Structures are given as C-alpha cells and as structure tokens.
C-alpha cells in the first residue's frame, strides 16, 4: 500500500508512516469486504466464543482417550477450584499413587490446604528476606520491581513442593480439609500482598534510619507473626498430630493413631522426594546444563530450584519409560495453548485460526519463550501414554485438577506434537535416568534472571 498524501496550500505532504491514516482504514475496509469468507466468519464469530467456534473437529476425533500404557490405579479426580495450587495438587496426586496399592484405599486424598498454608508462610519469609537483601537497591531496580509485582502468589514449581513437604510433611485431606479461602484465594492473596508491601516499605524505612540488620530481622519476626495470624484465621491451624482412619476396598477399617505430618510422610508415603529431579526442555539455552532462577524459591535454607535442560525427544522417552513401569510423572506446561476444554484435548491443530482469519501462528518454541508468547502456566500428572508399534509415543493421558466436569471426567488427552511445543518440564526419580544424565546433576547451575520464563510459577 503506498503512502496517502494530503494537500495543503498546493503543497503535497507525505503522511507520517507511523500514523494510521483515514485512507488506510478505508483500504482495510474495502479489502475485508471484498472477500465473502470474511463476512461468513464475522457472522459466525460476532455472537459466539472465538475458541469454541474454531475447534478443529477432526483433530479432536483423532485423539481418542485410549492408551496402551496406563497406571493400574488412579485416584479420584481432584479440584483446585479458584486457586493457583495446581503444582501442589499434581505433587500430592503423584504421592498418593503408591499408597492406593499398599493400603487398598480408593478414596485417598492428601491435604493440599496443609501444603498451601506453609507455602504461603514460607513465601512471605522468602520475600521479606529478599527485600532485606535488596534494601540498598532503588525501588525502580528491575529485580525489586519484579518481586513487588506479586510477592506471594499461589503458583509454584516442583522443587518448591519438595521443600515444603520435606520440612513440614503431609497430612490426609480429611484431617485438614479446604476452607473457603484455600479454594478461592483471591481475597486472601490481596490482603497478604498489601501487608508484604507495607513490610517492604517498613524494612527500607528502618534501614534508612540506621537500624541494624539484626534488629530489622527482629521486626521481620513480628511481621511473620501477623502473616501466620492471617493464615490461621482464614485457613485454620494445621494439625500437629492426628489419627488416620479409612475404610479399605475390602470394607475393613484401618486406623493409625497419633501421627505427626512428617511421620506420616516418611512412614506411610515412603517416597523420597529429594531423589526426584526436574528436567526441562528450553530450546533457547544449551542442553545438558543445569539452570536455576535468581530469587526463585519458597523455603530459605531449603531445596534450590534446579532444572536439567534436555531435548524434547529425551523428555518423551524418559516419561514414557517411567509410565511403562507404573510410575506417575509430574509435569509443567502451557495449558492454555490449543486446548479444547470440553473434550479434554491438547493438540497443536485443535484450534483452526487459518480457516477463519487466513493466517497461521509461526513462532517456534524458543521464539515463543523469547517473545513472552508462552511459558509454564500449569502443572499436572501423566498417568498413561499410547505407544505405536515401534514403541514411540503418540498421545498422553493427563490427570488434571479441575474437577470431573472438565475434559473427559477430569482427564485430558495430549498429542505428541503438543508435548513437543508446549510441555516444558517433567519430574523423574534419578533411578530412572541413565548414568550419563545423573552425572550432569552436580554441575554448578547457570543462573537465569528472576523474570526469565523458566521461573514461571505453575498455577
């Protein structure tokens, strides 16, 4: 399209190319109206949801919820409701799998509110310690500004789940059930954010007044007392000791008395979480290297967030091998991409933008990360995989935490191509890795910036 010209006092003046001229708009309109397909698309979409109208039916039908490899036992579908606790749900869903067999229990759920309570408390301490460490930096410093944006959100990563469970243990859901504010976290989060920003200002004020670091931390203890009070009032106090009772599949009452959360974790779950490692596929960065993210974590003095970066084909082969052995696989992905919610399908061709708009989306996985088009937004658990005659993965069975009304009675079906493009992380036991990968785990990590996409928190 050439530049439109304006005439003033017999002088020809070229329009500013940075400005949309009225002539440009007229050209856009004429071009749009010249194609009858645009009118059909507009008549369809004006009064209907965009994504629901663009579902590629063939892509959905090509992904049946049938799998050659599937966990022998699966727990009942859980529901995180209006909260960002998916990483906790996925972690506890994986922990309960061996318990279902050992205790012959089909109605077993571990308490997400318990982990959530202590994660909130620890995240607040993490934030306050970061504010103390950065107290000499200006408020418009990018790291300070980033940390102040959302100082205690619900989301998390695998290593943060491990840090909480290793320190505080686990309890059954019946011993510490949901409160309104664990299932609907918005108001609680807003209150905590207000307090944390108040505290950040107070820390800077104390430092400016010449108060010592030791005394500032005395003030921090008082701040954490208030945070604990907020959590205890809105969620309830977590149990220090409890009795675990349930009826097994044979109808027999099972009772274990006077347990504490750490004892329950070590004695009855029998999963050694420190043996599990995060493996990511980040094509922006060098493979076979360990990465961490600056200022990312929850438990001070606890487990560091660490990722081993490998090619996506390695992630698929490792995850499929674990599932064939009956082991669940925790994973993180960008769940909002090419997702047909009502049928529970994740496939790169599931949403047909081209038929309606005449264009395709062309960024590759690395470019989507670089341009903030994609990052890990959600954690779930693989409970099965379908392999072809050559043993290659075709589609994946996914246990979600959005209740039974989502997807196929709570489960999703992920295509192998979707795995390639939008899955970023899996978690496996070191015992399930070949020696050449285990040998890479002790590297000093490459430190990524706090705002790097690999630091995204699954919600």
Point out which residues pair with 331 in neighbouring strands: 380, 426
Q: Is 333 a catalytic residue?
A: no
**Of 99, 114, 88, whose CA–CA distance to 175 is shortest?**
114
Q: Which two tokens stand for residue 320?
A: 């499929």
Relative orientation angle of helices 36-45 and 22-33, to the nearest 10 degrees: 90
Catalytic residue (choose from 86, 124, 333, 413)? 86
Main-chain phi, psi angles of 151, to 5 degrees: -75, -15
User: Which positions ≥6 away from 412 have C-beta within 8 Å?
Assistant: 344, 345, 346, 380, 397, 398, 400
| CA gap 381, 91 in Å, rounded | 8
In order, the DSSP letters of 70-136 are E-S--PPPPB--BSS-HHHHHHHHHHHHHHHHHTT-SS--B-HHHHHHHHHHHHHHHHHHHHHHTTT
Decide: 105 and 96 in contact? Cβ < 8 Å: no
State how far Cα 455 lies from the chain centre. Answer: 10
CA atoms within a 13 Å half-sphere pointing along the CA-CB vector of 339: 19
Catalytic residue (choose from 181, 307, 339, 378)? 378
Work out the angle at residue 362's Cα, subtended by the Cα atoms of residues 360 and 366, and round it to the nearest 5 degrees: 155
Catalytic residue (choose from 181, 298, 400, 413)? 400
Catalytic center residues: 86, 378, 400
């Amino acid at each position: 399209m050439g530049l439109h010209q304006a005439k003033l006092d017999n002088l020809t003046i070229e329009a500013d190319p940075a400005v949309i001229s009225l002539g440009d708009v007229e050209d856009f309109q004429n071009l749009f109206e010249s194609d009858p397909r645009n009118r059909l698309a507009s008549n369809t979409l004006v009064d209907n949801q965009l994504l629901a109208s663009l579902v590629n039916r063939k892509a959905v039908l090509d992904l049946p919820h049938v799998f050659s490899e599937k966990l022998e036992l699966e727990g009942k579908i859980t529901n995180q409701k209006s909260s960002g606790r998916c990483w906790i749900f996925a972690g506890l869903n994986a922990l309960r799998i061996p318990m279902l067999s050992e205790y012959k229990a089909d109605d077993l759920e571990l308490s997400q509110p318990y982990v959530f309570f202590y994660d909130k408390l620890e995240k607040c301490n993490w934030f306050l310690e970061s504010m103390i460490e950065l107290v000499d930096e200006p408020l418009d410093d990018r790291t300070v500004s980033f940390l102040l944006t959302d100082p205690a959100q619900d989301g998390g990563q695998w290593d943060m789940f491990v840090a909480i469970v290793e320190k505080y243990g686990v309890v059954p859901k019946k011993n510490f059930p949901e409160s309104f504010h664990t299932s609907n976290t918005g108001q609680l989060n807003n209150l905590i954010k207000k307090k944390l920003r108040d505290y950040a200002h107070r820390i800077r004020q104390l430092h400016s007044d010449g108060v010592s670091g030791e005394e500032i931390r005395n003030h921090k203890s008082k701040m954490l007392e208030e945070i604990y009070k907020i959590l205890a009032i809105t969620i309830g106090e977590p149990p220090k000791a409890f009795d675990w009772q349930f009826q097994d599949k044979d109808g027999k009452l099972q009772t274990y008395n006077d347990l504490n959360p750490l004892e329950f974790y070590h004695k009855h779950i029998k999963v050694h979480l420190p043996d599990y490692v995060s493996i990511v596929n980040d094509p922006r960065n060098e493979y076979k290297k360990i990465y961490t993210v600056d200022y990312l974590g929850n438990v001070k003095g606890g487990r560091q967030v660490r990722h081993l970066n490998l090619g996506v084909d390695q992630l698929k082969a490792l995850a499929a091998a674990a599932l064939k052995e009956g082991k669940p696989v925790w994973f993180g992905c960008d769940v909002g991409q090419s997702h047909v919610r009502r049928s529970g399908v994740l496939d790169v061709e599931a949403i047909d933008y081209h038929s309606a708009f005449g264009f395709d989306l062309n960024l590759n996985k690395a470019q989507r990360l670089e341009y903030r088009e994609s990052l890990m937004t959600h954690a779930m658990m693989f409970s099965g995989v379908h392999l072809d005659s050559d043993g290659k993965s075709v589609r994946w069975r996914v246990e979600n935490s959005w209740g039974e009304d989502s997807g196929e009675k709570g489960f999703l079906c992920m295509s192998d191509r979707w795995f390639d493009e939008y899955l970023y992380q899996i978690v496996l036991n070191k015992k399930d890795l070949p020696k050449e990968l285990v040998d890479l785990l002790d590297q000093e990590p490459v430190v990524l910036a706090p705002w790097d996409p690999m630091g995204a928190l699954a919600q």
